[in-house]
Structures are given as structure tokens and as C-alpha cells.
Amino acid sequence: MLKPVEKKELVRSLGLLPAIMLVAGSMIGSGIFRKPATMAGQVGAPELLIGVWVIAGIISFIGALSNAEVAGFIDATGGQYTYFRKMYGDFTAFLYGWSILAVIQTGSQAAIAYVFGEYLGYFIRYPEISQSFQSIAFHIPVLGDIKPFAEFGPKLVAMSAILFLTVINYIGVKFGGAVQTFVTVIKISSILALSFLLITLGDGNSANIISNFQFTANSSGNVITGFGLALAGAFWAYEGWNNVTFISGEVKNPRTNIPRALMFGTLIVIGVYVLINIAFLYVLPIDEMAKSKLVAADAASKIFGANGAAIISIAVLISTFGALNGSILSTARVQFAMSRDKLFFSRIGKVHPRFGTPHVSLAVQGIWSCLLVMSGTFDTITDYVIFAAWLFYMLGAFGVIVLRKKMPNTFRPYKVWGYPYTIIIFVIFSLLFLLNTIIANTSNAAMGTFLILLGVPFYFYWKHKQKLIKKDSEGNE
């Protein structure tokens, strides 16, 4: 009997469809079900609300195009982390990878998983634990009081979801990709079906969608300010479009499939988001929409009655489950790539001999995400790193210009449409967004910067360790 071949590298087993579904599935989470009501109150006119979703989608699409060009000729696992090494060197790349593992993606996973636990509570009554346990608290500077056992039911479900999907992706990227494709198809289909039913069966009015810019009495006073605030909400819902780049090393024909996945996946989400918001507006006038706590449930109740909330809860469960799987599948590849570059713990760069997956990296990521769930601080942390996330988006887009200068003769299967103007537009928009964050949310911008800079001493530790290893190897020759 032949002994199975031991795998030492990640396996290229994902085709174009799973890659597209990873892009779309990572983006469509709970945001589309929660943000439209807040955004409606901020803009005050239906045309502006739809405009926000379109503009945020176009800006996200330009960001995806910038990633697509680089992904076309750099197909290594780690995606944006690897791109930053080529663009700016190890220091920027390490801080990006550190941020992804420490707070940005793991905090996002914790938040998504917690929403999953919250909505599952609509169908399951969680057992109560004693008040003495719930009141146990630990004070951590900056983050405040940590209560690990408060709201323990949703937290337990959230951790179970994280660990379950970690095991799924531990077993194989092909299996994880199949789960992602299945769940994403279901959730896109359910949103399209809901939109169709709201428009065809809902007792709505097209005047709710086109009002000739008649603002509601409760809308924000400053249109520009309100539009900017609504854009921030839309960007949160579009978050995750670059996750597919992290798994470039496991995608078949990545130089064409990654750019296609970025473009098609982002366009699908733009279409889905605009359509569902038109459907919401059709049955809910914008002033009613702005007052809604759960806009999707209120809209669904127009055609499903009391069962509307249950139907939307199921849709949110499917969406968050798919988004969580996409994030877990892709993000673990960043610290794996860092380890392979000798900028992180060596064991994290191990490949499972049977499954061909970055199993140690997945396990570390899963444990840390669960700890963030227990801390209950993930919302606070993700608020802090919005600034950092957009800083890296800006650097990633500007890096296209950097690489055009550094590597002018490198063949690019795909080149950004409208270069350099589209890239400049994205960079300017990102810069304005960052400046607005500094002015409007100075403490969040400062804390985001602080959390990122916490990685600096670790960077110098690993660079020092690299030098020692190199010195030892030269001495033994």
C-alpha cells in the first residue's frame, strides 16, 4: 500500500467560482440588514441613500481594481501583506500583517460571530448564568472593564461558530471553499428573493424611491456631513473585498482568477445592495425607514406579517455564517506568509501533512478570535482600527503607482482601468476619509494608530532574530 504523499506547501484547489463567492460572501454580512436605517436618517432623501450605496460601491470597486492589477503578477499566499513587501518593504508589510491578526480581521470575526449568536437567540432561549458570574470584571487600560461572562449565551454560540468553521477550514481549503460557495449562493439568492417579493407583493409606492430630493424633517441638518456619515456605514457593509488576495497561493490560475474574482465579486455585491435598498424604500418611506431599529425585519413584516422577523433572522444567520467562514478561510494565510518570511513564529508557517492547510495559523487565529469574543471589546477595537484599515487601503492603492515605477517591465495580465486617475481618486478619497476621522473621531484615530504601532517592537525583535539566524548559518559554513 502506497503511503500518502506528505504535503509541505499549500494546495492550489480553488477555482474561479469559489474565489468570486469568497469576495461576495466576505462582504455580505450583517451590515446590509442593520445599516440602512441609520443611513436613511443621516441623508434624509431616498435618492441620496441609493447614491451613497452606489458611490461607496464604486470606490470599493476601484480599490478592488487596484488589488486586481497587483494580484495579476504577484500570486503568493498572503495577498496584501505580500504586495506591501514589494511596494514598501518589510516594515509596512509586518505592521499590516500584525494589524490583521491582532485586531482588524480577528476583531471583525468576533463581531460577526457575536451577531450570529444574537440572532440565533431569536429561536433559542439561552440559559441564564448566575449574576455573580456575569458581574465578574477585569479592568484593562484603554479598553475599560472586561466582563467575560456577561451575555454568555451569544458569546458561547459565537465561539462555537468560530471553532466549527476553523475545523472546516483546517480539514481543507477545498472543503472550506465549497462551504463558502454553498452559503454565499444561498444568501445572495435569499436577498434577491426578498427584494423581488417586497417589490411585487409589498404594498409600496415608487414615490418612496424618487421624491425629487424632498428631505425628511428628522434628517441631519448638513447634507454633506450626513452623506459622509452614511458613506462610513456603507463602507462597513462593503468591507472584506480584498480577503481573496490572502489565498492567492491556493487559487488555480491566480493571475487571471484573482483579478476576475475581485471584479465580479464586488460588482455582484454592489448590485445586491442597491437592489435590496430600493426594495426597502419601496415599502418603507425614508422617514419610517430612519425610525426603524431593524429595517429588514420591518420591511419583511409588510408581506410576511409577524413571521417577517423570523425570516430576516434566518437571512442574517446565513449571511453572518458565510462572512465568518470567508474571513477565517482567508485571513489565516497572512500570518502563515509572515512566518514563511521569518517575520513571525516558525510553527505558524507549518502546512498540515495530510490536509495541506495552514493548520497552526488557523488554530492560533481561532483561539485569539474566541478570546476577543469573551472580552466583549471587539466593537470597541474595530472602532479603533477603522482609521488603520483605511490607511492600509490607501497605501495599497498608491502602491500600484509605486510598483509601476519599481517594476516597469513586469508583465501585467490586468492593468487598472483609467490609470492613474482612478488610483488618484481612490487615494484622495481615502486621505479625505482619514482626515475626517482624525477631526470627527480623534480618539479612535489615535487609538487605531497606537494599536498598529504596538507591532513595532515585535518587528524589530523578528528582524534581530533573522540576523542571529543568518549569522549562525554563516558561521557553520
Per residue in 217-273, pLDDT (tens digit) is 555 456 777 787 788 788 888 888 888 888 888 888 888 888 899 999 999 999 999
Averaged confidence pLDDT in the chain? 85
Q: Which residue has the higher pLDDT, 378 or 447?
A: 447
Whether the CB-CB separation of 333 and 79 falls below 8 Å is answered with yes
pLDDT reported for residue 1: 46
Residue 157 CA to chain centroid, in angstroms? 20
Buried b (16+ CB within 10 A) or exposed e, 443-475: ebbebbbebbeebeeebeebeeeeeeeeeeeee
Average pLDDT (196-202) is 89
Cα–Cα distance for residue pair 318/159, rounded to 1 Å: 16
- Cβ-proximal residues to 321 (8 Å cutoff; 6+ apart), any chain: 116, 161, 165, 183
Residues 6 or more apart from 273 whose CB is under 8 A from it? 32, 53, 57, 234, 237, 238
Winning range, highest mean pLDDT, from 64-68, 272-276, 315-319, 384-388: 272-276
Burial class (CB in 10 A: 0-12, 13-18, 19+), 140: exposed
pLDDT given at position 211: 66
The rounded distance, in Å, linking the Cα atoms of 73 and 66 is 12
Q: Which has the closest alpha carbon to 25: 210, 243, 171? A: 243
- Could you tell me the sign of the dihedral formed by the alpha carbons of 245, 174, 336, 164, in that order? positive
74 three-class SS: coil
Residue 29's φ and ψ, nearest 5 degrees, are -125, -125
pLDDT by residue (tens digit) across 131-148?
A: 777 777 777 665 566 777
Q: What is the pLDDT of residues 139-175, one digit of tens each?
A: 766 556 677 777 888 899 999 999 999 999 999 888 8
Q: Among residues of the chain, what percentage have pLDDT more than 90? A: 36
Per-residue pLDDT, 14: 81
Of 42-51, 90-99, 375-384, 435-444, highest mean pLDDT: 90-99
- The per-residue pLDDT for 193 is 92
For range 382-403, the mean pLDDT: 86
Q: In the block, which residue shows the cell 457575536? A: 114
Q: Would you state the torsion angle of the CA atoms of residues 93, 378, 351, 96, taken in this order, to the nearest 10 degrees? A: 0
212: pLDDT confidence band, cut at 50, 70 and 90? low
* CATH classification code of 16-467: 1.20.1740.10
Whole-structure pTM value: 0.86
The band of 2, judged by pLDDT with boundaries at 50, 70 and 90, is very low
- What is each CA distance from 320 to 105, 112, 372, in whole angstroms? 14, 6, 17
Q: What is the pLDDT of residue 368?
A: 92
User: What is the dihedral sign for C-alpha 167, 173, 179, 180?
Assistant: positive
Please give the share of the chain, as a percent, with pLDDT higher than 70: 92
Answer yes or no: are the C-beta atoms of 136 and 376 closer than 8 Å.
no
Quickly state the pLDDT bin for 477 (edges 50, 70, 90).
low
Residues 6+ apart with CB under 8 A from 396: 63, 66, 67, 70, 80, 83, 84, 87, 242
What are the tens digits of pLDDT across the range 452-474? 888 999 999 988 888 887 777 66
pLDDT at 188: 93
Instruction: Compute how many other C-beta atoms are within 10 angstroms of the C-beta atom of residue 11.
Output: 15
Q: Using an 8 Å Cβ cutoff, are 54 and 63 in contact?
A: no
**In this predicted structure, what is the pLDDT of residue 235?**
85
pLDDT score recorded for residue 61: 92
Of the candidates 27, 25, 29, 32, the residue with the CA atom closest to the CA atom of residue 295: 32
Closest CA to 348 of 19, 101, 168: 101
Output the pLDDT for position 7.
63
pLDDT in tens, 319-373: 999 999 999 989 999 999 999 998 998 899 999 988 889 999 999 999 999 988 8
When pLDDT is cut at 50, 70 and 90, the band that residue 83 belongs to is: very high
Residues 6 or more apart whose Cβ sits within 8 Å of residue 398 = 423, 427
Number of H helices, E strands in the chain: 19, 2
* Reported confidence tier of residue 209, pLDDT bands at 50, 70, 90: confident
SS3 10: coil
Asked if 161 and 325 touch (Cβ cutoff 8 Å), the reply is no
